Amino acid sequence: MGMIGYFAEIDSEKINQLLESTEKPLMDNIHDTLSGLRRLESLDRSELRKQFSIKRLNEMEIYPGVTFSEELEGQLFASIMLDMEKLISAYRRMLRQGNHALTVIVG
């Protein structure tokens, strides 16, 4: 059986079900990330500026030896890394499920 025979045996309905099952978790992760970014944007920065100058706020120690800007950078980096890990995990899960489905369908 040639290459055309393999493609003829692929069940498109099973492939569509697989794609639909992996699309929702990935879209949920993206939606959560965008919601978090919108919350950050909605913070009232003018209120912060009234209380502190930006320089003073950034230099303010919130823990012994840890300034506000250092803590914010650390949290932002951790948040980005967590989001990236979620996206990578979803992508790997999608690849595994896709490979498994093709093995079952074609194999």
- Alpha carbon distance 20, 42 (integer Å): 33
Q: Which of 37-51, 71-85, 90-104 has the lowest mean pLDDT?
A: 37-51
Give yes or no for residue 9 having a pLDDT over 60. Answer: no
- Alpha carbon distance 93, 82 (integer Å): 16
Residue 66: strand pairing partners? 63
40-64 mean pLDDT: 66
Angle between helices 68-106 and 12-41 (to 10 degrees): 170
Output the pTM of the full model. 0.33
pLDDT at 95: 82
Query: Dihedrals φ, ψ of 62, to 5°?
Result: -100, -20
Residue 7 or 45, more confident: 45
